[in-house]
Structure 1
């Protein structure tokens, strides 16, 4: 069977709130680090999240 292209990643808060989201990404289509603007319930505002590995 073929190996899947999607991997699970963790989007960690750049504002050091400790909050993170878990999502999937296509490893072949998006080769760089993913960065998104997401909502942080801890700080009650939006901010940037950067990709990190799930340990």
Structure 2
């Protein structure tokens, strides 16, 4: 059995601009993506530019708690 077996974890990325707009009820929902990351190489929270189907543009999606 490999010693680094549990290093990859499943994370959820959530649109940061939809969270702010959802307070004002401008957005219908919040865009979320599911992906994996290596905890050993990337211990901090992950942020990626992804397409948000509610904002209809590319925005920063940040990692949230499960």
Question: TM-score band (shorter)?
Answer: 0.7 to 0.9
- The TM-score, its normalising length taken from structure 2, stands at 0.73
- The TM-score, its normalising length taken from structure 1, stands at 0.85
Distance in 2 (CA, whole Å) between partners of 1:49 and 1:42 is 13
The structure richer in strand per residue is 1
Q: Deviations over 1:1-53 (max 9, x none)?
A: 44321000000100125111000000000011100000011111010011012
Name structure 1 gaps, 5 residues minimum: none
Match of 2:45 in 1: 33
The structure richer in helix per residue is 2
CA-based RMSD of the aligned residues comes to: 1.3
Name structure 2 gaps, 5 residues minimum: 19-28
Match of 1:44 in 2: 56
